[in-house]
Structure 1
């Protein structure tokens, strides 16, 4: 029978305190509560509740290591630790430690935590285990600590410990360490002895590098000189060739005179070809030469070149043979490049072939399942020596053979560069005394998607072009314009004369005059004194930085004040740099160049389509007004995205700016013209529509204001480096890979 229990207490010690389910429990003198019956009422003494049992101290009861045994995989070996310390060899670094409490009656109620000092100085709970195994402990000195507690009580302050020493391996013992020190000392002595030789070798290497660098610089200077001369020579050559052609058409001249004029004409053409070679070589060296291909019959070009050399041949002992075996000759190729390559190869063949034949041939082959159109130029001349053959394509290399003819050393280097640009293969085979064969392999099916394709797009004159008036404004705006604001006429003239060779200069005698010029002319950079009448430089700088038309213009402040407070005032006004007087023109010029280059770098990042994260950082580096300006321009363009003939005039009207002001502002921020910015934003919107995949390419082109799908494709390729369809495929493949 269950009955309601009332809890109470009295002051009697050891009194029975209750009855529960007709069962009674006694309380012992050690503090355990017991139940008893007294008139159906339960009693308890609160003093008994607060009393706790004390846990017996923990002790280490055993230590064992594991040894390898052939019959049994591992065998435990007990180790005595009477002295409180255990020493182990390095190959017995896996061991087991057993522990318990001294009071056996508490064995099941006790909990343990342990720590191995020297390995990890952290207490770990043993999780009801009474032994711990440590594996592969590195050599060193350790102290094993173990402590105990009863469940739900505090840890006992008595901690048992055992010192464990694991000996190091032989190679880490003290006598080996001494040996290491001796060896190290010997090495240091050898290094010190060889220091003089090392310094000498470094000096020799430095001198050799400087010699090579100077030689390279000299070669570049020569090439630049030759390039400049060739530009000057083309004009008089044109004036020579024109009248010569007219004279050859004059029927009143005798045959003898015509032959002499023909020789002059041929020599002039030869000179013109050499000049063109130098210019082409310079282009390939500076990577300015671009591949411009069209699909045409390449055999026609080979015939033309071969016939021209055949007609110009003045050696009756040499015959030119044109051998065309290929049937499928319509391929994509750069005609100018192929002509230049053939001219150089045939010219070399004619120089080194005193008699025999020079053959130019065209055929088709298949290698490794790739179709090639092969052009070969072979001769029966002197040939190339085995030592010279690996170096003939090096710049300025002159052969060492006895039949070597003086030359520039750039002809074959130019050929090699043009072949690589054409994504083709050039092989050469030569045998001294028997002749040389150059083989050019063009991939027949190569369409050169990255190259310029002639006549592939009909350019529309109204798209992204400037009017005559706007073109003039752009030309004026492209000059680097520097505004000098200085009340001292001598200093103003000094700065002007220092910069006038490199920049277009505007001057003002006070801040107000400078502000009026800055609003009207929008200079690329402003150099201003601080202390001036009417308006000082600080106020001028604030006006420049707070006006949306001029906020992008860098400002350099000049002053005789050099205190930290004055500099802080200058930078707080928005100045980009601060130069104290007196200053040198060289320092000022260097500061101008650095600031303009930094602005150009930001503009290039904004203009780029590849590094989006860097582009975002570039926008962050602009001030608030410049970002507002870019946002306004972008919104105007996107609100009129389908407008076909959007130009700088349209945006200038919307922004309430003059054409030149708008152009200089956009150019200074983005390094793009207004029309380039319009096209870029249109292309960005076109890209978003392409990636959505909801409209076709032709629909997208009309949606963003292109009347010609072909022109849209070309503009997209110029912006992103590939056609719209290829761009979508590349993005899809990247998503699939992710």
Structure 2
């Protein structure tokens, strides 16, 4: 046996392939050539000639994925005088580099080159067939070498042609390519047109996408696609390979459309996602680093995806899942045609029938899909007609339901209006009775039910206004995180009383935004009230706020009883109630969430609910907060959250904190803002009940918290305790009065320390008033009222100070921080009054403060907003310039930063009481 092998090898190395007059071409000589693998890929022919070549022994042999160079050798002799031209062909056009070494008479070799990585101008042939002319005359014998280097593995053979058979081969290749290309283009053309204009079905469009991907892959396999996009051979080669590397994308899209995807196990769905990710990653790697390892991995990935899809169909049959077989039959045929080609390229099979079966399945897919196409179109038309009829029926039912809902809403709106008058007559007397009979347990219960009735009536009225279209957004521009913090803090006492962990966080501490304070407050309080209502004691409620560029994303999550999947789609329906179970069984009217849903729509937002029984619910609200969206709705009001009224269902659990709720009338939005700094929650609640009817309230739990809130909100007055954790009242007062942003704020200090030394210490640190505990309610109210009146008098004084330029009065430099702040602001505006572009942002930068702090500071000192303050200084400056003889009103307007003389005249007249021309005449008679 060893002797036979050696003899065959020697014969092969020395055997001559002779062409005679009776030699039929094309002649496959693959089994008669020898091969040597150059693992360095750098050996020259002179060195390779001395190497040990081994027989190929296969008609169609495989060139693996590698960087090696493969050398092939054969000796050819021509004994046919009438056939003087012979050609040798490398039988696969996707080869990247093939070189043919033909010996000359002088001992040198002529080198002919071809392959996809060789520019067309350097190739030794035209067209797609890789062939080389041998120049073998009659009676001549030559030893030919082929050097092949291709990282893209493939199967090939080596063929000998004469001139006649080569032309015939070229014609046959052109005919078969033309037929296949025409078939693919025609199918693709009609299917795409149908998907765009006729069959607007998800499954059909998914299959259309697959056909686009597979058509590109077909042209990539033939090495035709890359040349369409580029003349660069390297780029064209990458495009050709990637075109059929991307076929798993089409597989995944079709599987998602044809299978009941939600019923597939999680493992199968994650496998599909993994296939998608792997395709993308390998694509990037191939583009960035074209090498055989990535391409081989790509082939195995395609094989895995194909086997996985076959497995999915077996799973669907076993589980009796509904699958559309009109699409699935051609889909599986197409996968099968490609499967055998890829399996052969990686060495999985050497069967000679691979290409025949692949083409048979390829044409079968086209035929079967065309056969089923008529049925697909008829089914789609039937489904569309059925859907149209169902839509008409639903529209009719919706119209009827809307009419009934309108009647119901109007009834509740009308009766709600009638309820308000007798309800008003109950609230006041009950409060009087509670003060007269504080030990009577029935009165707080009656008050809770009255407040519950009032809240329900208010919600019904809001819904009726929404139905009538009377609720329009009233947008303000302010610091949204600060606004929401106040809302969240209103629920902290409720959480403490129920032993519920209440976490709230925001993605940023400050964010200027445009929002409707009233409607946003109702949305937040309803969602939080709902969360607390269905959360048992020792449970948890979490709120997360994210500011995503132009949107607010509010997430309210509770860990309570949850909502069943069948009920979840109806929770926003009017008067729909979700019956709770267990120890937290509460009752509701089914209005709150419906009102939230309608308010979110008014604010151009979206709301989504997710829930799982026993694990809680999550509500997510997305609202636009950019000023471009709300430009037509902006107002100049300053938002201030009202004290949040808890629902009566929750209020019953905290009857001992009844005064914390909305029993008193709500302060106006422009009322003074009072900061209450007290670490005792009961006393803080009592103080709030004293002031919330006349003032807006901000609460803080200790001195440091109070200082932070003061810097954020800039209140009109602060009432603080002396003994507090982290920072006591003395430290709070000292830091508040030493900061220019808050130095103007009056401070009333409360303490149980009644000694003279303590009172003097407080007054020395800047406290404006001092009260000892226990204090008298009426006395505290009167002291706060007097301090606010004093601030109003100071505000008038500072307003007069702004006109000193007109009166030409010079005063010594003031010593107080407020005087220094105001003088610096006036000086800055006067110096830059000639710049028309000078505005709020520039003044903020000069004063080293934020927009909100500057606004509140100027409002507290002068009673004017920042814009009004800048305009007033400009006008005072104009009044001074108009004293100059010959001054032109228009010139003065431009000098003080007004772009429009007419607007300047109007503003001057409103502030000075006379037009600028009359002012100039009165000062220059």
Q: TM-score, normalised by structure 1?
A: 0.34
User: Which structure has the bigger radius of gyration?
Assistant: 1
Higher helix share: 2
Q: TM-score, normalised by structure 2?
A: 0.27
